[in-house]
Amino acid sequence: RQAAPARTPGPVGSCSRRPNPRKSMAALGGAGAAAFAAAMGGAPAIDPGIMALFAAVDTDRSGQCGAKELQQALSNGGWKPFDMRTVLLMIKMFDHDGSGQIGVGEFAQLWKYLTDWKACFDAYDADRSGQIDVGELNSALVRMGYRLTPETFGLLVRAYDSDRSGQLGFDEFCRLFVELNLVTGAFAKHDVRREGRITITYDQFIGMFMSTR
């Protein structure tokens, strides 16, 4: 029996082309970022460039940003614009208090998540086209510990390859793995013995499904 991963594992390796938040600090205003850090009580463990990116969109200095602000912050940091569906899923994954927003610490965690997955994506994007084909996607899934039947893998491809090109861009790749993480996390709450199978009631099934939406 194949036990399901408790969480989507983070890929190993560095990414030579990952966006660098420090490049945007001058444009965003170092003084503003410093003031923001002081208002937040300081966060020495967080990269100053990431602090600056967050501060630039946190215009009300609430220490939180919603979906539109997060989308803008990621674009300011050098990522290609993410689809709003992907952004909302990111918030769901990192919004630990259920506020519908994320704080600067959660933003830093999200940045690390994205850069790790970009390194994984680039490892399979051999021609640097910004796309990986379904065969490479399957290899990535196996590497991350997922053993899916051809039928289930086919469902994933149809769900995320919206233009039926047989390829996925980084946005689609991220959305797939964020949702896999959410679904796997919901499953793992019931799979206490890590056997890769669970027995649940219909009510529990509905609850598990809705918790990932």
In order of start, what are the domains of the chain with their CATH numbers?
Answer: 21-211 (1.10.238.10)
Residue recorded with tokens 């529990």: 204
158-167 own/partner pairs: CB under 8 Å, 24+ apart: 161/134, 165/131, 166/133, 166/134, 167/131, 167/132, 167/133, 167/134
Digit-coded pLDDT (tens) for 73-127: 999 988 988 999 999 989 988 888 888 999 999 999 999 989 998 998 999 888 8
Query: pTM higher than 0.85 for the full model?
Result: no
- Whole-Å CA distances, 61 to 30, 70, 162, 180: 15, 14, 38, 33
Pairwise CA distance, residues 61 & 45, whole Å: 20
Residues of the chain below pLDDT 70: 1-44
Evaluate whether 49 touches 184 at the Cβ level (below 8 Å): no
pLDDT for position 4: 53
User: Could you give the CA distance from residue 135 to residue 34 in angstroms, rounded to a whole number?
Assistant: 46
